Amino acid sequence: MKQIKLILMALCCVSFIASAQKPTVYVLATGGTIAGEGKTEVNSAYTSGAITVDELLSAVPEINDIATIKGEQVANIGSQDMNDEVWLKLSKRVNELLKKSDVHAIVITHGTDTQEETAYFLNLTVKSDKPVILVGSMRPSTAISADGPRNIYNAVACAVDKSSKGKGVMVVMDDRILGADDLSKTNTLSVGTFQNPNFGELGIVYNGKPVYSREPMKRHTSKSEFDVSHLDKLPRVEIILSYSNATDLFVNAAVNAGVKGIVTAGVGNGNLTTVMQNALAAAVKNGVAVVRSSRIATGPTAQWDEIDDDKLGFSASWFVNPYRARVLLMLALTKTNNYKEIQRMFTEY
Ligand code: ASP
């Protein structure tokens, strides 16, 4: 009897030590399809952000073998409703947690619709080299072959791996690791929707381990100059599309509404109809920052092509697509509205 007691005590000690050695990963939940609930397993109709972080995590008990998991509900919304308030709350909480020596990494569950924007915002405002990984799913938690549980497992597996440090904010979905520097949702329904269309994915997840094949070359996280810790709102920036016959209607409306910046999703290499370009040049004279980007999925919106940016006071977004360009311009405007300084930022981030 005494021997059995001793063996049991030893086993308890071993499991206590093993759990004490497991890295601590915070899972911050914000909603999305990954937390979505459908009417049936086959029907495509569902509601985003319907289940809680605890319910979400209970679908993947295997993550408890590789990490000590702590769940927190930051929001529970479809990411089509993602907003500056949640971004600031999330960024501040991530920075607060990562300052603690016993917190190893953060995983954020998030809808896929605006995941590229949130990932980029955090990539530019988190002040740590510890892994920060966003994860979502394309199928709700109630669907046959829901992709959420596998994606969450892979995200935690990447978060606890030493090789994931210093790579900026990443997205892990469909067994692939994507950088926030070049993230695009490319398909409305497919589970493999995310791509890094210009630079290529950072790596893959294979047998529960990350295998990296590139490093992000742009400034991010601990090397970023942006600091939102003291902010409770961000400058207003709108995105305006160009197309055949596009007029100055939306540019003038944005200027009249008092926006601080406009990002254009131009045609080709960020070109604009003449009437729109003239309205934007007038906006610059009224103190509005203008960044040219493109509605084309790949390639840079480069300076010194058909548009003389220096003459008009515009900046060009290079490889930053309009959605991420809006994020960078909002952060840039917390520091400056000088177009040359903004241009520097668009070449560095
Ligand atoms: N509308 C959902 C969202 O972004 C779509 C998804 O998560 O896949 O929250």
Instruction: Characterize the bridge pairing of strands 176-179 and 170-173.
Output: antiparallel
Q: Is the pLDDT reported for residue 285 higher than 90?
A: yes
Mutate to test the pocket of ligand 1, among 30, 37, 80, 117 (most ligand atoms within 8 A of CB): 80
Pick the atom of ligand 1 nearest to 78's CA: 9
Residue 110 C-alpha to ligand 1 middle, in angstroms? Answer: 8
Percent of the chain with pLDDT over 70: 94
For 258-277, the pLDDT digits (tens) are: 999 999 999 999 999 999 99
Q: What is the mean pLDDT of residues 210-231?
A: 97
Q: Is the pLDDT reported for residue 10 higher than 80?
A: no
Quick one: tokens of 184?
Answer: 């695009």
DSSP letter for each residue of 259-281? -SEEEEEEBTTTB--HHHHHHHH
Q: Is the pLDDT reported for residue 19 higher than 80?
A: no
Confidence of residue 42 (pLDDT cuts 50, 70, 90): confident
Pick the atom of ligand 1 nearest to 34's CA: 7
Q: Which residue CA neighbors atom 7 of ligand 1 most closely?
A: 111
Q: Is-same-fold flag (22-223; 237-348)?
A: yes
* H or E element, residue 56: helix 53-58
Does the Cβ of 23 fall within 6 Å of ligand 1? Answer: no
Pick the atom of ligand 1 nearest to 80's CA: 4
Q: Name the CATH topology of 237-348.
A: Rossmann fold (3.40.50)
Which residues are catalytic, by number? Answer: 33
The rounded distance, in Å, linking the Cα atoms of 113 and 323 is 11
136-153: b (≥16 Cβ within 10 Å) or e: bbbbbbbbeebbbbbbbb
Q: Is the pLDDT reported for residue 44 higher than 80?
A: no
Q: Is the pLDDT reported for residue 17 higher than 60?
A: no
Q: Is the pLDDT reported for residue 154 higher than 90?
A: yes
Does the Cβ of 138 fall within 6 Å of ligand 1? Answer: yes
Helix axes 322-332, 339-348, angle to 10 degrees: 130
Q: What is the mean pLDDT of residues 175-192?
A: 98
The rounded distance, in Å, linking the Cα atoms of 156 and 85 is 26
Mean of per-residue pLDDT scores for the chain: 94
Q: Is the pLDDT reported for residue 220 higher than 90?
A: yes
Please report the pLDDT score of residue 41 as a whole number: 80
Please report the pLDDT score of residue 301 as a whole number: 98
The rounded distance, in Å, linking the Cα atoms of 152 and 154 is 5
Please report the pLDDT score of residue 158 as a whole number: 98
Taking a C-beta distance cutoff of 8 angstroms, is the pair 135, 177 a contact? no
Please report the pLDDT score of residue 153 as a whole number: 98
CATH class of the region 22-223: alpha beta
Does the Cβ of 79 fall within 6 Å of ligand 1? Answer: yes
User: Which of 2-6, 93-97, 114-118, 325-329 shows the lowest per-residue confidence on average (mean pLDDT)?
Assistant: 2-6
Please report the pLDDT score of residue 47 as a whole number: 85
Residue 75 C-alpha to ligand 1 middle, in angstroms? Answer: 14
Does the Cβ of 140 fall within 6 Å of ligand 1? Answer: no
Pick the atom of ligand 1 nearest to 49's CA: 9
Domain boundaries, the chain: 22-223, 237-348
Residue 314 C-alpha to ligand 1 middle, in angstroms? Answer: 33
Confidence of residue 304 (pLDDT cuts 50, 70, 90): confident
Please report the pLDDT score of residue 1 as a whole number: 55
For 223-243, the pLDDT digits (tens) are: 999 999 999 999 999 999 999
E strands, 60-193, are 68-77, 105-109, 132-135, 170-173, 176-179, 184-185
DSSP letter for each residue of 76-111? EE-GGG--HHHHHHHHHHHHHHHTSTT--EEEEE--
* H or E element, residue 231: none
pTM beyond cutoff 0.85: yes
Mutate to test the pocket of ligand 1, among 79, 114, 117, 141 (most ligand atoms within 8 A of CB): 79
Eight-state DSSP code of residue 142? T
Q: Which residue CA neighbors atom 3 of ligand 1 most closely?
A: 111
Please report the pLDDT score of residue 13 as a whole number: 52
Please provide the distance, in angstroms rounded to a whole number, between the alpha carbons at the two ends of the chain: 66
Please report the pLDDT score of residue 39 as a whole number: 76
Tell me which amino acid residue 13 is: C
Q: What is the spatial order of strands in the sheet that 176-179 belongs to?
A: 68-77, 24-31, 105-109, 132-135, 170-173, 176-179, 203-206, 209-212
3-state helix, strand, coil in the chain (%, to 5): 35, 20, 40
Please report the pLDDT score of residue 45 as a whole number: 81
Taking a C-beta distance cutoff of 8 angstroms, is the pair 129, 106 a contact? no
Q: Which residue CA neighbors atom 1 of ligand 1 most closely?
A: 78
